[in-house]
Amino acid sequence: MKIIVAENYKELSQKAANLISAQVILKSDSVLGLATGSTPIGIYDQLVDRYQKGDLDFSQVSTVNLDEYYGLCSTDEQSYRYYMEKYLFSKVNLSKERCFLPDGTNLDGKIECKRYQDLIDALGGIDLQLLGLGHNGHIGFNEPADFFEKEVHLVNLTEQTIQANQRFFASIEEVPKQAYTMGIGTIFQAKKILLVVNGKEKAEALKKVVQGAICSQVPGSILQLHADVTVVADKEAASLL
Ligand code: GLP
């Protein structure tokens, strides 16, 4: 794992955006694996800025998002599709036909998981996967569990994750209890992985991911085994390393 420590959130966003920009410049038809949550927002702002300045072209890029809430439709402001439209898709020249997320409105988990896994496989896998980190060490929505789920699956969110994500909803009752997520195997097949971690409250989780035992109770710890992982963390998140 390569670890880059940034002075603050702005620098973290710039450094991570540099790595994504380099990927798109070097391979114009890259498949980018994208993430949601508060951490990547600054990165998407940077990418939009670079696109507007004429430094980046997304016209040949495909994107696949890590996850989506079960039951939410694209017009729901809390859905990850809505988030991606707001922060990135509507602001750069990505082709709408090449921006993919799990379909939260497909309530048949078996069919939707297979559809999304097959879609990623058909794209030839992911060139660069952007990841945030949950407080409990989750990546995507791969929650602590007794084993690593390999493929796209429907997951029951833990109480801790529901509480952490409550800030985006009017009340805790509105937070979906389930989500579709890429599996650990899906993520692991990405050629490169970029993990971004911000803030003191993630320091413990990042320490476990980078230096702890590799175990399914800390899903992100599996990244220690991947051949090409870059972690970009701000000083506070990296403070226990
Ligand atoms: C959610 C997402 C994850 C994300 C995590 C952390 O659970 N499914 O992909 O990494 O939140 O989000 P934040 O960056 O807001 O802390």
Per-residue pLDDT reduced to its tens digit, 26-63:
999 999 999 999 999 999 999 999 999 999 999 999 99
Check if 197 has its Cβ closer than 6 Å to any atom of ligand 1.
no
Q: Cα of 133 to ligand 1 centre, how many Å? A: 6
**Averaged pLDDT for residues 145-164:** 94
Q: By the 8 A CB rule, do 19 and 230 touch?
A: yes
Q: What angle is formed at CA 94 by the lines to CA 93 and CA 99, rounded to 5 degrees?
A: 160
Spatial separation of the C-alpha atoms in residues 151 and 129, rounded to whole Å: 15
Helix axes 9-26, 41-52, angle to 10 degrees: 50
Spatial separation of the C-alpha atoms in residues 106 and 71, rounded to whole Å: 7
**165 is an active site residue:** no
Report which protein residue has its CA nearest ligand 1's atom 11.
37
Mutational pocket test of ligand 1: of 138, 182, 195, the residue with most ligand atoms within 8 Å of the beta carbon: 138
Sign of CA dihedral 198, 204, 207, 213: negative
Set 65, 138, 142, 149: catalytic member: 138
pTM over 0.85: yes
**Averaged pLDDT for residues 117-132:** 97
Per-residue pLDDT tens digits for 102-116 = 999 999 999 999 999
Check if 134 has its Cβ closer than 6 Å to any atom of ligand 1.
yes
Spatial separation of the C-alpha atoms in residues 224 and 209, rounded to whole Å: 8
Average pLDDT, the chain: 97
Q: By the 8 A CB rule, do 155 and 149 touch?
A: yes
Per-residue pLDDT tens digits for 190-209 = 999 999 999 999 999 999 99
**142 is an active site residue:** no
Q: By the 8 A CB rule, do 157 and 187 touch?
A: no
Q: Which two tokens stand for residue 161?
A: 């994750």
Q: Which two tokens stand for residue 165?
A: 């994500």
Set 68, 112, 127, 136: catalytic member: 136
Question: Can you give the pLDDT at residue 199?
Answer: 98
**143 is an active site residue:** yes
HSE-up (13 A, CA, CB side) for residue 213? 3
